[in-house]
A and B are shown apart, each in its own frame.
Chain A
């Protein structure tokens, strides 16, 4: 796969595009998005391996406005964000050449550690298997064991709105992604509050979740805007700190495609995607199934009004679990 993608990248570069792809980071598993403008750079740095989890679509907001054309490699879940951002008029589609890359699911270090591997120094794609180099020698593991949580519960392998595809077009999948949300819903409000206080107490307000989130792409973020009265990075209390994530979850509600980038980048391993999934689950229940980014036309349920819309009552009433 790496070779096919790399060859396509060179081909597109030579046709006059800048190329948005991935390059190796400090460690083998923190592959980083990068824009390539020369053949040498691509040949030297371009990678496409089982750790290319980063969602490329957000970078297209700026890249599509920079003048000239930009080619981007998008995995199925990236294409949902890509369409959602087009729907919000953030990406200038005509300046983007989108190459859909079919994806067998991306791996992460947490999964490798959970699988009992220690001293991991590298990993190689072996199709269904992953060859893991460790300090104690190589080990081959099933790729499914190394998949990140979001890829285990993958919602769709469908590549949307691509100019061309590498690999086969996929289908929407039946996902179990709401199982964890259901577990939280089954808790008493006190237990749930304690769960989230516990998780969110680790937040160091690095803003990585906000910076990576494709839905969090305002021209001027309220948390950076002195006029908003909410820009201070130092919180008054730890509870106020926690509210940052609640505010962000409301902010992206109805627009979040559930790409899972927030949890991937969190250095404190806070399961932030669960907040968003709860919103998605509620929207599906109240207004019918809706997948943000799945199309370019439909009106998102939270900015639409139908005469037979339910009018969910106070939070307390619904907080008592369906």
Chain B
């Protein structure tokens, strides 16, 4: 006979305000098998847990139902508490009457009725719960960081510092990411290269860090502590071990008209190239889309001039298979395309640039050697208009993004300030919706731009930019002045919204990590677990989780590293005992479960069964490896004969819940 205890939590007023907890505990007391039912202000508190434990001991409870918040919040807490009182932790069921009930209902009568139904379902399920025992799995003490920008580099350095080996996979020929393209950094205006390139070198020289550049993750299998990852290292047609980075090939290559992505296409590079002088690894890469030798078989200049003999036109992609205990996503961001914003004439005039292009025009290593010149005629601009929120905070999100890109206010203030400082003869206008500068020394920085450098900040948006006689006619509204402005500008700089890198979405699918509607990775808890993905063993670093500036990115990168170190320093992880199990008597051996299993946990054996009249029959049946199974349940729904079941979430338990709800 079942002896079930029901404990209804008020969660202060979180539940009690919209659910009549007294009525709920009274109603559930009348359910079959329930011997005790009560309610309490904070069930998760020490006093609440003590009460549960006392009742388990006193009444010899065989099952516990807690009506409280989401199991994601406190299931582990309550399971531990019950285990201490001698009850198997898997005989505890949570009815979520907060997130799925009190928080979403306004009417107390409705909320109460639903809470009773949810409680009844949990009671029906716990009747069928079986005690389960968790096993252990080992941890591979190696981390993978996907993305070699400042986020990935910082995470890798911190993990390596703790003594664990770590691989960085970077899809570009060099690590460094977006920060390498930035000129100065707010709010201190130190040069980005001066603070980033030493870190790149540190990463390259660290014995624990292995940089796999020009490579992408292709396949991820396994689970926390035991990931198995396939990495495709693309052929760069240059032997990395031989290339000295002398750069002679990049000067002699006859193919000169390749848009240089490092300078945002503002100038050209050769078909064989080193992205920039401080690249890590500093080796050349042949661009197969432009190399004449690779396309037609006729040229070979780079091979002739290379004294190290590093050029290898027949190089193939290399597949690297490696095991990891933890994976960090640090895939970063991209500015959005400006093609939907033709009112700013981006496609019509080369003098309309994005902020990242403007960074290159201001940078000493950029196409103009650091002198601000108009791309159209190479002349010095006198009037500059900066437009903020281009594609950020867009209603409906059809044209742009619904969110604030967060970094634009600060870098625009930086651009305006630097322009005025270098060229006091310029007039600089900044059009904004709001200026958002929270952050240490950020608002002071913005005020300096306005007060000391005389940048004209105008609240209002630019309606139209029209190129006319070498000028850009800017039509804008000044909301505070209540008037229309017409400015003849020499250059217009668009603060383009940022979005997650395009590689993030397929990566999230491979990692089974969740994403929000904007393709930013979702964190396990927005406040309490901000650097962990809901998928165990997957961590988040930098702008792939949301728009971030450099200080924030570095802070989050360190936090992600701390979480990885915490995981890798353990020798064993407790397995989830809620794994799949095959009923051999019902199994047809059809392989449907094996095909859908993402973890490779299912194998088949030929097994002898006793038939009628002393006969035996050999049948192929499925077997689950409980150490590998993660309990996702894919096999249980794929199984056509209902032979596959998930412990703790059996088909019978789920049907019992449904029946209880429909009663």
Chain A residues at the B interface, C-beta cutoff of 8 Å: 65, 88-90, 217-220, 222, 225, 228-229, 251-252, 255, 299-300, 302-305, 307
Contact = CB atoms under 8 A, between A and B. Distances in A.
B655 A219 contact: no
A217 B588 contact: yes
A219 B595 contact: no
Contacts of B550: none
B586 A225 contact: yes
Given A88-B590, A307-B509, A219 B619 contact: yes
B585 A220 contact: yes
Contact of B586 (A65, A220, A300): A220
Contacts of B617: 65
B591 interface: yes
**Which 7 pairs show the lowest CB-CB distances between chains A and B?**
A88-B590, A218-B641, A303-B595, A220-B586, A303-B592, A89-B589, A303-B596
A229 B659 CA distance: 12
Contact of A229 (B585, B620, B655): B655
B335 interface: no
A297 B619 CA distance: 22
Contacts of B619: 219
B506 interface: yes
Nearest to B635: A303
B617 to A, nearest CB: 7
Given A88-B591, A89-B591, A307-B506, A218 B586 contact: yes
A25 B509 CA distance: 56
7 contacts: A88-B591, A89-B588, A90-B589, A218-B640, A219-B619, A229-B652, A251-B640
Contact of B585 (A219, A228, A307): A219
Q: Is the interface of B mostly helix, strand, loop or mixed?
A: mixed
B570 to A, nearest CB: 31
B620 A89 contact: yes
A252 B589 CA distance: 16
Among A219, A225, A302, which residue has the most Cβ atoms of chain B within 10 A?
A: A219
A90 B587 contact: no
Nearest to B609: A219
B588 A88 contact: yes
Interface string B569-599: 0000000000000000111111110011000
A219 B587 CA distance: 7
Contacts of A303: 592, 595-596, 638
A225 B587 CA distance: 13
Contacts of A222: 641-642
A220 B617 CA distance: 15
A303 B655 CA distance: 23
Contact of B642 (A88, A89, A90, A228): A228
A303 B585 CA distance: 22
Interface of B: 506, 509, 585-592, 595-596, 604, 617-620, 638, 640-643, 652, 655
Contacts of A255: 640
Contact of A219 (B588, B592, B604): B588
Contact of B588 (A218, A229, A302, A305): A218
Nearest to B598: A305
Contacts of A88: 588-592
Contacts of B604: 89
Contacts of B592: 88, 303
Contact of B590 (A89, A252, A307): A89
Contacts of B586: 218-220, 225
A199 B509 CA distance: 43
A147 to B, nearest CB: 32
A63 to B, nearest CB: 13
Contacts of A300: 595
A61 B643 CA distance: 19
B384 to A, nearest CB: 43
B598 to A, nearest CB: 8
B659 to A, nearest CB: 9
A210 to B, nearest CB: 13
Contacts of B655: 229
Nearest to B596: A303
A134 B401 CA distance: 77
Contacts of B587: 219
A224 to B, nearest CB: 11
Given A220-B641, A222-B642, A228-B642, A304 B588 contact: no
A299 B595 contact: yes
A228 B655 CA distance: 10
Nearest to B505: A307
Contacts of B590: 88-90
Nearest to A65: B617
B534 to A, nearest CB: 19
B393 to A, nearest CB: 28
A304 B591 contact: no
A65 B606 CA distance: 13
Given A219-B641, A228-B642, 10 more contacts: A65-B618, A88-B589, A88-B590, A88-B591, A88-B592, A90-B588, A90-B589, A217-B588, A218-B640, A225-B586
A305 B652 CA distance: 27
A229 to B, nearest CB: 7
Nearest to B586: A220
Contacts of A229: 652, 655
Nearest to B656: A229
B587, B589, B590, B604 pick with most chain A CB within 10 angstroms: B590
Nearest to A299: B595
B251 to A, nearest CB: 41
A300 B640 CA distance: 13
A220 B640 CA distance: 11
B637 to A, nearest CB: 10
Contacts of A228: 642
Nearest to B640: A251
Most central of B589, B592, B642 by chain A CB within 10 Å: B642
B523 to A, nearest CB: 23
A303 to B, nearest CB: 4
A217 B641 CA distance: 9
Nearest to A215: B640
Nearest to B593: A303
Contacts of A217: 588
A229 B604 CA distance: 28
**Residue of B506, B618, B640, B642 most packed against chain A (CB within 10 A):** B640
A229 B655 CA distance: 10
B610 to A, nearest CB: 14
B435 to A, nearest CB: 40
A251 B619 CA distance: 21
A299 B620 CA distance: 19
Contacts of A305: 596
A219 B639 CA distance: 12
A218 B641 CA distance: 6
A220 B591 CA distance: 16
A244 to B, nearest CB: 15
Nearest to B659: A229
Contacts of A299: 595
A23 B85 CA distance: 70
Contacts of B642: 222, 225, 228
A251 B641 CA distance: 8
Contacts of A252: 640
Contacts of A65: 617-618
B640 A304 contact: no
Nearest to A250: B640
